[in-house]
Amino acid sequence: MTLTMTDLPVRIRLKIDTAGPVPADPHTPVVGCCWTFDSWHNSAGYPYLSWNGRDQPAHRIVFALITEMDVTGLDVDHLCRNTACVNPSHAEAVPHAENQRRISKHQVKCRRAGHDWSDPRNVSTRPNGRRYCTQCYRQGNGGHIRRVSDAQLIEIRRRANAGETQISLATEFGISSGLVSKIANRKYPVEKVLACSS
């Protein structure tokens, strides 16, 4: 398949500059320069264009028009990892889960606290293939945002086991009664928290 932009609508073609940057950090080897697109970009750096009456990511539209592929339900992944690029030979239409897997694979630090994932001790993989931060997990949040302090964990557990209702503890600490139940039943890793912070 030869990718050419001569069949693109003129109003789209005129916005494309095929002499964009050479990809600095592609996740899959690509040929040629990135194509930049003269329009507004969203906060993640994707250029948009008006197509079929609504604003849509330009790289998807250019890709679909040139490759004549139906990308409905698919992600158009930037192989060049330049979100501003609309070069269809720098893109591949893949299922959303595959795109997520690729993003996760190239993630170099955890999103929550920025722990360095180039150190293999800081990252583990769930059975479904998604990765998570072992540093954050070790620090006691089990991959979730901490809503209570270590001292509160211990107090909640003590008082729940002494007979206070989960509802009243949940209200007092501003958490769900489900979380109170987990804490009371030792499903919340308080021991790990204490081992880590001592």
Question: Which positions touch Zn ion (CB under 5 A)?
Answer: 34, 80, 82, 85, 87, 90, 110, 113, 115, 133, 135-136
82/166 with CB nearer Zn ion: 82
CB of 153 to Zn ion, least distance (A): 19
CB of 109 to Zn ion, least distance (A): 8
CB of 21 to Zn ion, least distance (A): 8
CB of 123 to Zn ion, least distance (A): 9
14/113 with CB nearer Zn ion: 113
44/162 with CB nearer Zn ion: 44
81/157 with CB nearer Zn ion: 81
3-state SS of the chain is: CCCCCCCCCHHHHCCEECCCCCCCCCCCCCCCCCCEECCCECCCCCEEEEECCEEEEHHHHHHHHHHCCCCCCEEEEECCCCCCCCCHHHEEEEEHHHHHHHHHHCCCECCCCCCECCCHHHEEECCCCCEEEHHHHHHHHCCCCCCCCHHHHHHHHHHHHCCCCHHHHHHHHCCCHHHHHHHHCCCCCHHHHHHHHC
Cα separation, 63 vs 42, whole angstroms = 18
CB of 110 to Zn ion, least distance (A): 3
9/45 with CB nearer Zn ion: 45
